[in-house]
Structure 1
Amino acid sequence: MADLHIIVPGALETRTGGFIYDRRMVGELRAQGWDIAVHELPPGWPFADGAAIRGAEDVVAGMPDGALVVVDGLALGALPELARQHGERLSLVALVHHPLAAETGLSAATRDRLQRSERAALAQCKRVIAASAFTAHSLLDYGLDSEDIGVVPPGVDPAPLAEGSEGPGMRLLTVGALIPRKGHDVLFNALAGLPDRRWTLDVVGSETQDPRHATGLRRLCTRMQLDDRVRFHGEMDAGVLESLYQHVDLFVLPSHHEGYGMVITEAVAHGLPVVATAGGAVEHTLPSGAGILAEPGDVADLHNALARVMDEPHLYQQLADGAKKARGRLVTWPEAAAKLADELSRVTS
């Protein structure tokens, strides 16, 4: 019998932050000797259809009494009835990257429904694991006590220092699915106000999660006459993305909200300075001295931050030096998994 069951809201190989966290933790825990059964649900969470919900019910119903079961919050928050039915016989653990209601672009009614649903589901868990201290604090509004929540931030792989683009101008990189929460439109508007600077932008991230929004972003670039400066790459496998990291000068993350912001630590691991918006956990994730922050959703503030880094070579060098100093202090994936193992052991002890 498996030591641990992990339920993920789609294919474990999906290349987005939450799935990367889940996948890396599975791999590292297995390397540490855990016997893990991974259960992949159909995609579409938290707005999954009836068939997907029934599939989740079948998966959980087949688990033996007393099993230790970690459920990714993207699915668990939409399954309060399932959590209620099985919360007593299973050792349910929620893994929350960020609250469902924190997603950008939701109606007030949808946000309220998700809050109530997630609150009810979390109440049935033996323990809740948050991917950041910021997310853990936000979950106090969901009826949880601080003693109920463990904090296990993601790790990062050691990486070689980026070589940079070697000019002319500055090559920027942003990584994240093309969904409203990631704020690409804010970044494009901020950059459109810098026509006299020499810059280009590489955009890496899935265009299939919200195809309409992704299409709208491409059209926005065309309207702003940025097509010769902005390159959309879609999803990239790790090897290709690593090559891209090697040849950029600045990392930008314009998100409205992040439960952690794994791509920030990836950029810092490459010694890249960062310009980001302080949405959610970002201001806690970005190491001091490795970047500068702008207000989420504020085009003018992001514009000014980017202009400063482009126009002030000493500031750029100061931030790059800060990133290089910080990279040696980043938590590795084996270290993060060891912390997760400690949290899970608290449930079974």
Structure 2
Amino acid sequence: MKPPLAFAIPGDIATLTGGYIYERRLLEGLRQAGHDVQHLQLAASFPDPSAADMTEAVAMLAAVSPDRPLILDGLVFGSIDTTGLARVRAPLVAMIHHPLALETGLSSDRQDHLFQTERDNLRLARHVLVPSPHTRRILVDRYGADPRAITILRPGVDRPRLPPAPDPMPLILSVGILHPRKGHDILLDALSRLADLDWRAVIVGNPWDADHAAALSRQRAASPVADRVRLAGRVSADELEELYARASIFALATWYEGHGIVFDEALARGLPVVTCDTGAVPDTVPPGAGLLVLPGNPAALADALRMLLVDPARRQAIARAAREAGQGLPSWQDMADSASLVLSDCAP
């Protein structure tokens, strides 16, 4: 019989970000694998909780039965008070997509606080789940985590529901929340340098940062290629599936990724990827399946896009490599079944 588990996640589990999708599919897959999984919905304010939210979270975690390994989302694990976390009796399993101190735009004091908190909390964890070899290396090299206690749990991917049907005019698709870390402003700058070529672009993403979303809208409106770029915002699953089917190139000018589920979605559909050589991206996008440039460099990003737009033969060769890589990716249930083995070993 599979041991019971608990999974603590802040906010709405249906939130459309890669991290929430990863955890929601894991929770569903563990239940499908035969585990009784208790879902604890903590305050959405993490990793910046109020004092009341912190107190409530510690109380909820401390109340979990000691026979249930407790998976703790990284937004909480990396920011929750260490003294409070030490009160938890259940075996702790940290799920760290990427360390909180590596987020962009943090003050040095905030970075130091998050680094120290996450490092201290790692000493309380029975095991750690990470989505990529990159995140594992960071935890071992910078945080002193025990490599034997870390399992790489690569996210799964859904198989395409529609066959490829590329638009006659190449469609460049970008998918990622509207947040500075995703680099959509860099992509818009790059696209403005390609006005002499034929293409269209769609940027899909939940407006996570309202101020940044507004700035992107103004940037697009002022661009010389405004009529060819659509800021689609959040779209339905069916519309996203159709966009993937119609696309010829996937592009994301990200500053950092702990994995990047959207890259797996692009590979599964045989799309050549243009993105940045940063974080876990080289672990996720295999050589030959995409073109990687330095982050924050719109000229280099434009050059990579231009190369694929003017050379269909090269674009098709990279697409074939992407499709081959995509065929070897795990399903979401494969991922959950792997996690089930690890979590069962953590049970008392």
**CA displacement at 1:162 relative to structure 2:** 4.7
Instruction: Summarize the alignment of residues 104-143 of structure 1 with structure 2, pairs less than 5 Å apart.
Output: 104-140=104-140, 141-143=142-144
Instruction: Summarize the alignment of residues 43-192 of structure 1 with structure 2, pairs less than 5 Å apart.
Output: 43-81=44-82, 84-87=85-88, 89-140=89-140, 141-160=142-161, 162-168=163-169, 170-192=170-192
Give the letter aligned to residue 133 of structure 1: P
Give the letter aligned to residue 132 of structure 1: S
Give the letter aligned to residue 59 of structure 1: M
Give the letter aligned to residue 27 of structure 1: E
> Which stretch shifts more, 217-226 or 6-15?
217-226
**2:240 equivalent to 1:253:** no
1:121 to 1:62, Cα distance in 2 relative to 1, 3 A = same
Q: Residue in 1 aligned with 2:299? A: 300
> Are the equivalent residues in 2 in contact too, given 1:161–1:270 (CA < 8 A)?
no
For residues 297 and 161 of structure 1, the distance between their equivalents in structure 2, rounded to whole angstroms, comes to 33
Q: Residue in 1 aligned with 2:317? A: 318
> Are the equivalent residues in 2 in contact too, given 1:83–1:124 (CA < 8 A)?
no
**CA displacement at 1:238 relative to structure 2:** 2.2
> Are the equivalent residues in 1 in contact too, given 2:289–2:318 (CA < 8 A)?
yes
For residues 82 and 17 of structure 1, the distance between their equivalents in structure 2, rounded to whole angstroms, comes to 30
**CA displacement at 1:295 relative to structure 2:** 1.1
1:302 to 1:166, Cα distance in 2 relative to 1, 3 A = same
**2:40 equivalent to 1:39:** yes
> 1:339 aligns to what SS in structure 2?
helix
**CA displacement at 1:266 relative to structure 2:** 0.5
For residues 119 and 225 of structure 2, the distance between their equivalents in structure 1, rounded to whole angstroms, comes to 43
Kindly tell me the number of residue pairs found equivalent between the two proteins: 346
For residues 83 and 96 of structure 1, the distance between their equivalents in structure 2, rounded to whole angstroms, comes to 19
1:83 to 1:126, Cα distance in 2 relative to 1, 3 A = farther
Q: Once superposed, which parts of structure 1, at least 4 consecutive aligned residues long, lie more than 6 Å away? A: none
> Are the equivalent residues in 1 in contact too, given 2:165–2:246 (CA < 8 A)?
yes
- Offset from partner CA, 1:9-50 (integer Å, 9 cap, x none): 211111111110101111111111111111112213212222
> Are the equivalent residues in 2 in contact too, given 1:159–1:270 (CA < 8 A)?
yes
For residues 146 and 97 of structure 1, the distance between their equivalents in structure 2, rounded to whole angstroms, comes to 16
Give the letter aligned to residue 233 of structure 2: G
For residues 324 and 273 of structure 1, the distance between their equivalents in structure 2, rounded to whole angstroms, comes to 9
- Structure 1: gaps (5+ residues): none
**CA displacement at 1:184 relative to structure 2:** 0.9
> Are the equivalent residues in 2 in contact too, given 1:174–1:203 (CA < 8 A)?
yes
**CA displacement at 1:237 relative to structure 2:** 3.2
Q: Residue in 2 aligned with 1:215? A: 214
- Offset from partner CA, 1:168-218 (integer Å, 9 cap, x none): 3x21111111111111111111111111111221111111x2111111111
> Are the equivalent residues in 1 in contact too, given 2:58–2:84 (CA < 8 A)?
no
- Structure 2: gaps (5+ residues): none
> 2:211 aligns to what SS in structure 1?
helix
1:73 to 1:44, Cα distance in 2 relative to 1, 3 A = same
Provide the identity percentage: 37
> Are the equivalent residues in 2 in contact too, given 1:9–1:74 (CA < 8 A)?
yes
For residues 156 and 333 of structure 2, the distance between their equivalents in structure 1, rounded to whole angstroms, comes to 7
TM (normalized to structure 2)? 0.94
**CA displacement at 1:286 relative to structure 2:** 0.8
> Are the equivalent residues in 2 in contact too, given 1:83–1:121 (CA < 8 A)?
no
**2:14 equivalent to 1:19:** no
**2:332 equivalent to 1:333:** yes
> Are the equivalent residues in 1 in contact too, given 2:185–2:216 (CA < 8 A)?
yes
> 1:275 aligns to what SS in structure 2?
strand
Give the letter aligned to residue 58 of structure 2: E
**CA displacement at 1:82 relative to structure 2:** 5.3
